[in-house]
């Protein structure tokens, strides 16, 4: 099987106004997802809401692209991915994780997860923590000037990660050798204790 990789110039680029509209849609659908998981409305209301959601989906499907759109590059950069499943403003399934890069190259995000991210009862699903750390480590590798594809991601779940409270994820590149970049990161709970630690290796593929 070969997968076609689309070039950036084949992708639809959104203007700033469209980005704001689409981010608004994604935020509303994110609320819908939480409402769908947690609703205690009577069955007739659930069925009526289902019909309304189906109507909205049909309306949006009247015209579609094959792949998520991108935002135009900022000065001299690459076209920006806005529908990434970790923190992408246009992607309703993305948990609300906005990653900033600090002057020393640390990638950092403060975020609060919710009941829709539950794995073990009352705690965050380990795959959700892994997804967030993979992205944060990838941003740290990029900030180091040595981006790549995740080749290894090693996780140590030290304590259960709570939802509904502010969490901090931080990570940084620790070195690189040729096409390989190493990085480490962690998620910390509101009590300052680490819940998950991760190390990763990114490899820049040979084209
Ligand atoms: C096209 C652009 C690429 C980069 C773009 C980055 C943009 C960043 C932008 C924004 C930041 C966003 C952040 C994103 C974060 C999320 C990232 C993901 O989720 S990535 C999806 C999950 N990962 C995969 O699907 C990888 C699948 N695997 C592969 O494609 C290949 O295996 C790959 C590229 C990882 C390596 O393939 P080879 O053919 O280049 O590797 P060989 O030449 O065999 O190895 C090179 C060296 O690396 C070691 N190596 C390779 N893979 C290894 C592994 N899995 N474990 C240990 N060592 C490995 C080898 O032993 C070798 O080491 P020796 O030079 O001999 O010392």
Does residue 4 register a pLDDT over 80? no
Structure tokens at 122: 């009352």
For ligand 1, pick from 78, 173, 205, 206 the residue to mutate: most ligand atoms within 8 Å of CB.
205
Residue 121 or residue 81, greater confidence: 121
**Pairwise CA distance, residues 182 & 7, whole Å:** 27
Both 123 and 193 in one domain: the answer is: yes
% pLDDT > 70, the chain: 94
Both 101 and 56 in one domain: the answer is: no
- Averaged pLDDT for residues 105-124: 97
CATH code of the domain covering residue 142: 3.10.129.10
What is the DSSP pairing of strand 80-81 with strand 107-112?
A: unpaired
- Residue 149 counted as domain residue: yes
Task: Give me the domain span that covers residue 164.
Answer: 95-203
Both 166 and 199 in one domain: the answer is: yes
Both 141 and 168 in one domain: the answer is: yes
Instruction: From 21, 50, 81, give the residue that closes a domain.
Output: 81
28 C-alpha vs ligand 1 centroid, how far in Å? 35
- Residue 132 counted as domain residue: yes
Condensed to tens digits (0 to 9), the pLDDT of residues 125-156 reads 999 999 999 999 999 999 999 999 999 999 99
For ligand 1, pick from 132, 151, 207 the residue to mutate: most ligand atoms within 8 Å of CB.
151
Specify the pLDDT at position 12. Answer: 87
Both 27 and 99 in one domain: the answer is: no
Does residue 7 register a pLDDT over 70? no
pLDDT band at 71 (very low <50, low <70, confident <90, very high): confident
Instruction: From 49, 81, 113, give the residue that closes a domain.
Output: 81
Instruction: From 81, 112, 136, give the residue that closes a domain.
Output: 81
**Pairwise CA distance, residues 94 & 85, whole Å:** 4
Does residue 75 register a pLDDT over 80? no
Q: What was the ipTM of the complex prediction?
A: 0.93
- Residue 90 counted as domain residue: no
Both 35 and 105 in one domain: the answer is: no
Specify the pLDDT at position 81. Answer: 86
- Residue 126 counted as domain residue: yes
Our count of domains for the chain comes to 2
Both 112 and 163 in one domain: the answer is: yes
pLDDT band at 178 (very low <50, low <70, confident <90, very high): very high
With beta carbons less than 8 A apart as the criterion, state whether 33 and 39 touch.
no
Both 102 and 196 in one domain: the answer is: yes
- Residue 35 counted as domain residue: yes
pLDDT band at 6 (very low <50, low <70, confident <90, very high): low
pLDDT band at 87 (very low <50, low <70, confident <90, very high): confident
**Pairwise CA distance, residues 139 & 133, whole Å:** 10
- Residue 136 counted as domain residue: yes
Both 63 and 142 in one domain: the answer is: no
| Averaged pLDDT score across all residues of the chain | 93
**Nearest Cα to Cα of residue 137 among 77, 202, 188:** 202
pLDDT band at 48 (very low <50, low <70, confident <90, very high): very high
131 C-alpha vs ligand 1 centroid, how far in Å? 16
Specify the pLDDT at position 9. Answer: 65
Both 25 and 110 in one domain: the answer is: no
- Averaged pLDDT for residues 77-87: 84
- Residue 89 counted as domain residue: no
- Residue 176 counted as domain residue: yes
Both 199 and 102 in one domain: the answer is: yes
Residue 70 or residue 120, greater confidence: 120
Condensed to tens digits (0 to 9), the pLDDT of residues 96-111 reads 899 999 999 999 999 9
Both 124 and 183 in one domain: the answer is: yes
């Amino acid at each position: 099987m070969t997968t076609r990789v689309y070039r950036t110039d084949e992708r639809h680029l959104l203007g700033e106004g469209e980005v704001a509209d689409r981010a608004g849609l994604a935020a509303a659908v994110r609320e819908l997802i939480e409402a769908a998981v947690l609703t205690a409305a009577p069955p007739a209301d659930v069925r009526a809401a289902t019909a309304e959601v189906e109507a909205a989906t049909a309306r949006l499907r009247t015209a579609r692209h094959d792949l998520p759109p991108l935002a135009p590059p900022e000065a001299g950069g690459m076209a920006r991915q806005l529908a990434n499943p970790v923190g992408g403003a246009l992607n309703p399934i993305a948990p609300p994780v906005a990653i900033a890069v600090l002057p020393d190259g640390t990638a950092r995000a403060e975020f609060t997860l919710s009941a829709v991210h539950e794995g073990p009862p009352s705690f965050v699903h380990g795959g959700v923590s892994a997804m967030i750390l993979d992205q944060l480590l990838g941003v740290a590798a990029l900030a180091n000037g040595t981006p790549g594809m995740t080749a290894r991601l090693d996780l140590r779940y030290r304590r259960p990660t709570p939802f509904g409270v502010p969490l901090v994820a931080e990570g940084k590149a620790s070195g690189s050798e040729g096409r390989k970049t190493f990085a480490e990161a962690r998620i910390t709970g509101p009590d300052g204790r680490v819940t998950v630690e991760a190390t990763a290796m990114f490899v820049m593929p040979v084209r």
